[in-house]
Structure 1
Amino acid sequence: MQQGSGSLVELLLSADNFYELVSTIQYLDVIQSRNSEAVSELVSLTDELALTQASLNAQMDEAEAEKQRADEARDEAEEARDQLEAKIAAQAAAEAAARKAAIEAAQRAAELAAQSEQQTPTFTTESGNDATVEVPDLPDPDIVVPDSDKDAFVSEWSARIDAYLAGSPLAGQGTTFAEAAWEYGCDPRLSPAISTVESSTGRVCFLPHNAWGWGSSSWSSWEEAIWAHVAGLAAGYGGQLTYAGAQKYCPPNADAWYASVLANMLSI
């Protein structure tokens, strides 16, 4: 059989006999079949590549969309944080201004009483008693927050509170105040100081064992009363002395109440 690059007809006519012609045709069929398979495989690979490219494009689009959503969420979170920080700063500034005004009011009352040679100024507490308006040396108390060492905290503050309560009906309850304050995360000075302002440290209670002007509650013991009051301060007042808390605790005379409670806290 002749070899060359002639036309298909020439290739067929070049066969010397029928057997060679059949062999040539079979050879051409094999080539055609392989070419068809190659073309089919190429088409299949092309389709697969197109699908892969489409999938990658979709994934890239989704990734870009996710990035956009993440950026938007970050921007929203930063804006919310900035707004919260601004709100906290405004509240802190308002609280500081109110504290300063309350102490200045107490100072003016004391000065007026001194100038007119009148008795020490008083105000009506939440329990209905008359309390002396006291002027603190500082505009706010140092924050006291119970730490993880309960024994050290209770040891320090029970001794200080016992010294403060000496000679009063609440004498000896320093450990109760300190343990309750540690349990509820309160300033340990707050409840004892309020008891002095509201009832002269338990001397003038309007209900049994209620030394704090605390609603219409009464208790069977000082221990029960102290734990209940400190728990209430934690739940309703954040466990710390604030002017906002004074407005809530003794609305008619918040200025004098805040200044007087603070003055007593600073003496513990």
Structure 2
Amino acid sequence: MFAGSAACVVVTLCITIGIGTSFAGAGGVNTAGFGASGAAASEDASQTESLGAASDTGVRESSQLSNSAQRDITKGIETIEAKEEADRIAAEEAARAEEEAKIQAAAEKRAEQEANNPPAIDLSEVDFTVGKEAFIEEWTARIDAYLAGSPLAGQGVTFATAAWDNGVDPRWSPAISNTESSKGAVCFLPYNAWGWGDKSFSSWEEAINTHVSGLAAGYGQTITYWAAKKYCPPNYDHWFESTLSEMQSI
């Protein structure tokens, strides 16, 4: 009987110990599980804080870049405006220098021609020192009046501008057009009112510019007896007198 009781006690102790161990194991598992969840939550919080900090940093950097870009653009605009102003001033100075050079060249050409081939007409009316704008305005009006009613009517500004550009008496080419073709009424070739070689032209503007530059290159600044001999060798006396008379009427 005592042996059986002892056996029962042993079994009971074993069961008790087993149950305790089970509960202890279960408690350990749960504790470990709760510990892992806490760590994960802590890590998530850290990552959130890091993302938030990074976001704040990104916003600040974006703002700084925006401000920097705005400042750079402003400086760029100021640089462009300064360059444009400098270019404008340089262009005006270049135009002024070109005009002064034209005046000087015309004066030198006149002096040379007067020394070698005295002009047959008073050049005092042709004043290049007044400047381009005033020169063209004056001679446009005078030449237009002279050419009124002819095929060359309205080309005063073309004659005046070509005369300025080449330093030539603005009356010369219009007067020759009368001597050679009655101011363009009888042209032996299209738009050639000056008996100018064997050339045809596509417009009065092209023809006038070609003729005036040709006078400057080969005949001088204005009409001379020498120029008449070169321009119309067979009948230079009549050509000279007729052309000179027309020039004096402009």
Q: Deviations over 1:101-146 (max 9, x none)?
A: xxxxxxxxxxxxxxxxxxxxxxxxxxxxxxxxxxxxxxx3111353
Instruction: Identify the match of residue 200 of structure 1 among 182, 188, 201.
Output: 182
Q: Does the residue aligned with 1:147 lie in a helix, a strand or coil?
A: helix
Of residues 231, 256, 261, the one that matches 2:213 is 231
Q: Give the Cα separation in 2 of the matches to 1:238 and 1:255.
A: 18
Q: CA deviation at 1:239?
A: 2.3
Q: In the alignment, does 2:122 pair up with 1:142?
A: yes
What TM-score do you get using the length of structure 2 for normalisation? 0.52
Aligned pairs, how many?
135
1:167 aligned counterpart, secondary structure: coil
Q: Mapping of 1:1-268 within 5 angstroms?
A: 140-143=120-123, 144=126, 146-147=128-129, 149-268=131-250
- What do you get for the CA RMSD once the two structures are aligned? 1.6
Paired position in structure 1 for 2:12 = none
Report which of the two has the higher share of helix: 2
1:213 Cα deviation (Å)?
0.4
Question: Where does structure 1 lack aligned partners over 5 or more consecutive residues?
Answer: 1-87, 97-139
Q: Is this contact kept in 1: 2:127–2:135, CA < 8 A?
A: no
Q: What residue ranges of structure 2 are gaps of 5+ in the alignment?
A: 1-113
Instruction: Find the aligned partners of 2:222 and 2:206 in 1 and give their Cα distance.
Output: 21
Q: Which amino acid aligns with 1:182?
A: W
- Output the CA distance in 2 between the equivalents of 1:147 and 1:183: 13
In the aligned structure 1, how far is the partner of 2:165 from the partner of 2:130?
11
CA drift at 1:148: 5.3
- Aligned structure 1 segments of 4 or more residues deviating by more than 3 angstroms: none
Counterpart code for 2:148: A
CA contact (8 A) 1:146 1:186 kept: no
Displacement after TM superposition at 1:147 (Å): 2.9
Residue 146 of structure 1 contacts residue 187 of structure 1 at CA under 8 Å; is this kept in 2?
no
TM-score by length of 1: 0.48
- Three-state SS of the structure 2 residue aligned to 1:231 is helix
C-alpha spacing 1:209/1:248, structure 2 compared with 1 (3 Å): same
| Whole-Å separation in 1 of the counterparts to 2:163 and 2:174 | 11
Q: Write out per-residue CA displacement over residues 217-245 of structure 1, whole angstroms, 9 at most, x where no aligned residue.
A: 11000001000000000000112100000
3-state SS, counterpart of residue 187 of structure 2: coil
